[in-house]
Amino acid sequence: MLVAAPGAGVKNTGEFLALLKKNPGKYSYGSSGVGTSLHLAGEMVKQQGGIFMTHVPYRGVAPLTNDLLGGNIDFGVFVLSSALPYIRSGKMVALGTTEARRSAITPDLPALSESPSLKNLDIGVWFALMGPAKLPEPVQTRLKKALNETLQSPDFRKKMEATSSVVPTSNVDIDKLLVTETAKYKTIVKFANIKE
């Protein structure tokens, strides 16, 4: 979720893009560290929006939150669950989610991709269960079955949704996902000139 401090003076994606295009280099955005998916989401916004803002890496979400709420930084990229309480209380302005579509958890909040300048923006945080390369097939089968049963459990889904997390409703082809995600991140890392 890309958010603005109330003092930034923008209420939506269009106002945000117009402000940054009018003032290149004047504004900064924070994330919880260099090379995180949140940092890369901010860089993707810059690339696709044709804007420039300086990235400020924080050592975690707490100092970023404090600086945004204190007016020391104007914009930030957060995991939805971290920003949502502040958005709901009016302490942060939601500019849009960074995934291709609105979150099922917050259908009232726009996706940045709804803006014509950011129509190809699609970057999010996801988790996968991995194992050693030569994990025996029977063990893989057993783990996949247990994981899928857990993911489909109404109790588990309810707990995850309470944290603003979206649980997939069907199996995900992890091999295909890794290929597409790696290519996407590689492009953004190159654009942002991020080094180790």
Same domain for 45 and 11 = yes
Over pLDDT 70: what percentage of the chain? 99
- 117 shares its domain with 163: no
User: 23 and 113: one domain?
Assistant: yes
User: Residue 104 sits in a domain of what CATH number?
Assistant: 3.40.190.10
- Assigned domain for 85 exists: yes
> What pLDDT was estimated at residue 195?
81
| Same-domain pairing of 93 and 40 | yes
- Show the domain range for 153: 137-171
User: Is 28 within 8 Å of 76 (Cβ atoms)?
Assistant: no
In this prediction, residue 160 carries a pLDDT of 86
Tell me the pLDDT tens digit for each residue of 114-173: 999 999 999 988 888 889 999 999 999 999 899 989 998 999 988 888 776 778 777 788
The answer to the question of residue 184 being in a domain is no
Tell me the per-residue pLDDT of 82-106, one tens digit each, with 9 for 90 and over.
Answer: 999 999 999 999 999 999 999 888 9
Average pLDDT over residues 52-62: 96
Burial of 174 (0-12, 13-18, 19+ CB in 10 A): middle
Residue 74 sits in the same domain as residue 117: yes
**How confident is the model over 7-16, as pLDDT tens digits?**
999 999 999 9
The structural domain count of the chain equals 2
- In whole angstroms, give the CA distance from residue 25 to residue 38: 20
Tell whether 192 is covered by a domain. no
Write a three-state SS string for the chain: CEEECHHHCCCCHHHHHHHHHHCCCCCEEEECCCCCHHHHHHHHHHHHHCCCCEEEECCCHHHHHHHHHCCCCCEEECCHHHHHHHHHCCCCEEEEECCCCCCCCCCCCCEHHHCHHHCCCCCCCCCCCCCCCCCCHHHHHHHHHHHHHHHHCHHHHHHHHHCCCCCCCCCCCHHHHHHHHHHHHHHHHHHHCCCC
Q: Are the CB atoms for 102 and 80 separated by under 8 Å?
A: no
Q: Kindly report the average pLDDT of the chain as a whole number.
A: 92
Q: pLDDT category, 196, cuts 50, 70, 90?
A: low
Q: What mean pLDDT comes out for the span 31-55?
A: 95
In this predicted structure, what is the pLDDT of residue 124? 85
pTM for this model (two decimals)? 0.86
Rounded CA separation 179/173 (Å): 10
Percent of the chain at pLDDT exceeding 90: 78
Same domain, 45 and 87: yes
* 101 and 10 co-located in one domain: yes
pLDDT at 171: 77
